[in-house]
Amino acid sequence: MGEADTPKRADFWYFWPTRVRYAEIDGQGVVFNAHYLTYFDTAITDYMRALPYKYGIGGDKAAGTDFHLVKSTVEYKAPIRFDQEIEVGVRTGKLGRTSIVFTLAIFPKGGDDLLSTGEIIWVNTDLKAHKAAPLPETLVAAVKKREAVRAGGAACTHFPNRKSGLGPFSPAAREREEVRTFFLSPTKWERRGPAAALAADGK
């Protein structure tokens, strides 16, 4: 992530506040790495509520769709310690045809120091066909009303270095088994390669 891409507090309109609990730290007295994704997931849930967008267990039952996580990234910038009050900023960084990219950052309460950054990508999925489905129109409208976001194209393939052909989601990398999307079938786990999963988002 370059200097220009580094999130700043002013980039976010929504923050989820929390205080580090004893159960969340490791033997070094800092937040155990896996809990960062818990912070991100909880913050996204509250962000959706604040949009507002109603998202419950089981997804959109009428449409037969739900979101599947296809990518999660965490970067650790500075230690977060026991009993520290923090705020997790959340915004929508990109809207694809079937995917949504959440940009996240953790700051001290009321502070500008960047403690961690993250990116979470969801793909809306037809639960019967096990294929990507268009994002709910109500979600797209709610996001656009709240903030300006990049739109169109496959969310996972649009990066600043795309023209150079480099990066984790370049055509060459998509052909490797570095990124996998998993779909839960009634009878088995079915693994699909990254190229097929990302292509489903449209271009």
pLDDT > 70: percent of the chain = 71
Calculate the alpha carbon distances from 52 to 41, 80, 104, 112, 127 in Å.
Answer: 17, 30, 18, 26, 24
For residue 43, which of 12, 22, 65 has the smallest C-alpha distance? 12
Query: Token pair of 139, please?
Result: 């979600």
For CA atoms 172, 174, 179, 180, the dihedral sign is negative
pLDDT tens track for 103-128: 999 999 999 999 999 999 999 999 99
With a cut of 50, say whether residue 179 has pLDDT above it.
no
* Cα 187 → chain centroid: 28
* Per-residue pLDDT, 151: 61
Confidence bin at 4 (pLDDT 50/70/90): low
Candidates 40, 68, 186; CA nearest to 126 is 68
Structure tokens at 164: 């150079």
Domains of the chain, first to last: 3-150 (3.10.129.10)
